[in-house]
Amino acid sequence: MAKRVESPSSINTFKQCPRKYYYQYIEKLPTLPNIHQVRGNIAHSTLENFYEIDTSLFDENNYKIKFKEAGQKLLLFQWTQYKEKLDELGLSKDQERFYFEETMMMIMNWINHIIKDFTVLMERKKISIPEAFQQLTPIREQKFVSDHYSVQGFIDAIHHLEDEVHIIDYKTNSSFDFKDSIRLQLAIYSLLYFEKYGQTPSKVGIFFLRNKQKMIAVDEELLELAKKEITLIHLHTSSTEEIEDYKKKITPLCRWKTGQCDFYENCNPEEK
């Protein structure tokens, strides 16, 4: 059986529950849209497009407010772009307003951090606003595909600093823990980057949009973690596509107070 092309999400899904992996990636049952996913996409599109803004009319007195205005306009624009998807969720007006305002708070939090970095860079290097903005602009949404490892991933932002490369993923999560699933995602990105460019990034991390950026150093141990988990999933998924070989892993992630696994009805986890 041919090797499947995995991703950090598919591998983490398999680790969370092999049966869920089966439904999502082998049987390809549709997943249900939810506000957290849609809002995550809106936030990602806003940040991706933020670096396209024209800073030629910004000056030292107005750049902080101009950055914030640009972020507000971009979020508003993206929110309307996703109107159809938001409508499908059937939220009440109050609920939609709540999520919009919460997302705006995240974008403003992120922009405050950008302004801080931007101010330091301008003062240290004595460069113009457009130059500083250009130097802070990362490579965005880059797709990495490894034929060797049969894995792919999209990296949100790659920053080339003076002598370091930093890889960042944006998350709208309410938890700021560096869970195992996040560590594995970053390990796979590091491996993909290493394979493509022949050098490891210095650091990888998450920008938790409700909080701040958290980074870890990339070392041999992190790369080995990625290789080990990729090997393990291929061993399983390239040997069988039978549902009974993908065991149910019943945890609180099957059903919680306000929702349930996308495949709860198909799976019927209580049934042996």
- Does residue 250 touch ligand SF4 according to CB under 6 A? yes
Residue 128 Cα distances to 52, 64, 116, 141, angstroms: 17, 14, 15, 26
Minimum separation from the CB atom of position 41 to ligand SF4 (A): 23
By C-beta, is 170 or 263 nearer to ligand SF4? 263
Whole-angstrom distance, CA of residue 224 vs CA of residue 129? 41
Minimum separation from the CB atom of position 271 to ligand SF4 (A): 10
Select from 4, 13, 17, 191 the one that contacts ligand SF4 (CB under 6 A): 17
Q: Which stretch binds ligand SF4 (CB under 6 A): 52-60, 65-73, 227-235, 250-258?
A: 250-258
Residue 60 Cα distances to 52, 129, 271, angstroms: 19, 8, 65
Q: Cβ neighbours of residue 18 under 8 Å, at least 6 residues apart?
A: 236, 245, 246, 247, 248, 249
Minimum separation from the CB atom of position 20 to ligand SF4 (A): 4
Q: Cβ neighbours of residue 201 under 8 Å, at least 6 residues apart?
A: 158, 164, 165, 166, 167, 189, 190, 193, 194, 218
Select from 176, 253, 256, 259 the one that contacts ligand SF4 (CB under 6 A): 253
- Does residue 20 touch ligand SF4 according to CB under 6 A? yes
DSSP code per residue over 1-68 = -PPP-B-HHHHHHHHH-HHHHIIIIIS-PPPPP-HHHHHHHHHHHHHHHHTTS--TT--TTTHHHHHH
Beta strands in the chain (DSSP E): 139-146, 151-160, 165-171, 203-208, 213-217, 255-256, 259-260
Minimum separation from the CB atom of position 248 to ligand SF4 (A): 4
Q: Cβ neighbours of residue 45 under 8 Å, at least 6 residues apart?
A: 78, 81
Minimum separation from the CB atom of position 31 to ligand SF4 (A): 11
Minimum separation from the CB atom of position 252 to ligand SF4 (A): 9
- Does residue 4 touch ligand SF4 according to CB under 6 A? no
- Does residue 254 touch ligand SF4 according to CB under 6 A? yes
- Does residue 105 touch ligand SF4 according to CB under 6 A? no
Q: Which stretch binds ligand SF4 (CB under 6 A): 19-27, 89-97, 127-135, 183-191?
A: 19-27
Minimum separation from the CB atom of position 179 to ligand SF4 (A): 16
- Does residue 25 touch ligand SF4 according to CB under 6 A? no
- Does residue 261 touch ligand SF4 according to CB under 6 A? yes
- Does residue 246 touch ligand SF4 according to CB under 6 A? no
- Does residue 263 touch ligand SF4 according to CB under 6 A? yes
Whole-angstrom distance, CA of residue 100 vs CA of residue 84? 15
- Does residue 29 touch ligand SF4 according to CB under 6 A? no
Q: Given the rule CB under 6 A, which residues bind ligand SF4? A: 17, 19-20, 23, 248-250, 253-254, 261, 263-264, 267, 269
